[in-house]
Chains A and B, each alone.
Chain A
Amino acid sequence: MEISANTLRSDVVKKVSEISGENLSACYQCGKCSAGCPSADRMDHIPSQFIKLIQLGMDEEVRSSNTPWVCLTCFICTVRCPKGIDIARIMEAARLLKSRENVDHFEVSSLRAALEEGLPPIAVVSVFRKHTAS
């Protein structure tokens, strides 16, 4: 992974900042977000590492990381961040990088099998909202 002035000026920094409305450079890597994250053990990059990747403009790593897709939007990171960064919004912005390019994360063709399990409507609406192109 190469870091240069170009990566720091990368599109990913700008887009995530714009969509989330958060100041990425406020993060000083204390790790409280990662400590409380119930999904951290399944993430390619724990939340604090993921923020660092965005800060450094590591576009490819950010886009291919599973981190925003196993984020549960539970807001633990948001309420604990000592710098007041709304990390849930950063994860949302990272998901939208893909969704806004018209790429689904959730395989819509698998919906029939999911519905046969008797899932509640809120689960189905939510996964469409969070994991498909919008």
Chain B
Amino acid sequence: MRISYYPGCTLKSNAKNFEDSAIASMKELGVELDEIPQWNCCGTVFSLASDDLIHHLAPIRILLRTKETGSDSLVTLCSMCYHTLKLSNMRVKENPDELEKLNNIMYMEEITYDGTVSVYHLLSLLKERVGFDKVEERIRIDLGSLRVAPYYGCLLLRPEGVSIDPNIENPTIMSEFISAVGAIPVDFPHQTECCGAYLTVDNKDLVVERTYEILESARRRGTEFIITSCPLCQFNLDDRQKQVKQKFPEFEEIPVLYFTQLLAFAMGLDKKALRFDLNYVSPLSILEDKQILAIKD
């Protein structure tokens, strides 16, 4: 299967470990991610103002770019990109007048956008179009007793129209994924609660406290690893552990991986695919302690 792929800004910088592990593990499953040409930033946040059409231009131009390649499906990995592309697409489909205005602004483009591209998150693609049973067949390393907690955050689930799971309050798609890769999913009460998002820039203390609360809640349920899909959640839950440790000295670090890193590891892929070097808290010591197979160079 080939599918158009939109990386977004952070997958090419801080979250290279997300992109590299996704491309390598999808290849193992026979899924080629075709990066769309000449893509622009999606704007990261979906504009919630009624009269603010211009901020939907960036996401809609990405969908036009997708259609230009002859594709009618687009997959993203970043939760923020997914959320923004999905909601802007819904908005223009419901408001043809707005779509016409946006197409007029994009008069230099060779085609117009007609609302026909479907936006997928990689987890939905894995579940609906690849199948978690196929994922299970490709697993080479026995994760055995590894206890992994899913962290959804906000943007994969809310508002309802974007949700990658039919149950927005108690989703299960990530736990199903964790079972498919052979680990034990941990259910914990903070898995859909916000990490503090972009307030990490101008209200760091709020994020440090949120991170502490979320990670401690996961730990109380016996979590060894956390997986996520959002590079902003990943930064807040992983890199911010530095500040959590300063504020709460008794705190013990927990590795926070992208779900594709866990997948690539369970498939036995090499260091280049895993990029654990970009995670602030390394997962290696836990993997060694549990005598789970060493990683290939």
A→B interface (CB under 8 Å):
18-21, 38-39, 42, 70, 72-76, 78-79, 86, 88-89, 92-93, 96, 105-107, 110, 114, 117-127, 129-131
B→A interface (CB under 8 Å):
8-10, 13-15, 41, 43-45, 47-51, 55, 78, 80, 154, 158-160, 168, 193-194, 196-203, 206, 210, 231-232, 235, 239
Contact of A122 among B10, B50, B199, B210 (CB under 8 A): B10
Chain B residues whose C-beta falls within 8 Å of the C-beta of A38 in the assembled complex: 193-194, 210
Does B196 lie within 8 Å of A122, measured CB to CB? no
Q: How far is the CA of A32 from the CA of B41 in the complex (A)?
A: 35
With A74-B154, A93-B49, A106-B201 as contacts: A126 and B159 at CB distance below 8 Å: no
Chain B residues whose C-beta falls within 8 Å of the C-beta of A20 in the assembled complex: 48-50
Residue ID in chain B nearest A111 by CB atoms: B201
- The secondary-structure label for the interface of chain B is loop
With A20-B48, A74-B197, A120-B14 as contacts: A106 and B206 at CB distance below 8 Å: no
Chain B residues whose C-beta falls within 8 Å of the C-beta of A107 in the assembled complex: 202
With A78-B158, A122-B10 as contacts: A129 and B43 at CB distance below 8 Å: yes
- The secondary-structure label for the interface of chain A is helix
Pick the most buried of A70, A78, A93, A125: most chain B CB atoms within 10 A of its CB. A125
Does B194 lie within 8 Å of A72, measured CB to CB? yes
Chain A residues whose C-beta falls within 8 Å of the C-beta of B51 in the assembled complex: 18-19
Does A125 lie within 8 Å of B9, measured CB to CB? yes
Does B41 lie within 8 Å of A125, measured CB to CB? yes
Write the nearest CB–CB distance from A22 to chain B, whole angstroms: 9
Does A79 lie within 8 Å of B168, measured CB to CB? yes
Chain A residues whose C-beta falls within 8 Å of the C-beta of B154 in the assembled complex: 72-76
Q: How far is the CA of A55 from the CA of B203 in the complex (A)?
A: 28
Does B80 lie within 8 Å of A122, measured CB to CB? yes
Chain B residues whose C-beta falls within 8 Å of the C-beta of A86 in the assembled complex: 48, 159
Contact of B45 among A18, A79, A118, A130 (CB under 8 A): A130
Q: How far is the CA of A47 from the CA of B112 in the complex (A)?
A: 41
Chain B residues whose C-beta falls within 8 Å of the C-beta of A114 in the assembled complex: 201-202
Does A127 lie within 8 Å of B202, measured CB to CB? yes
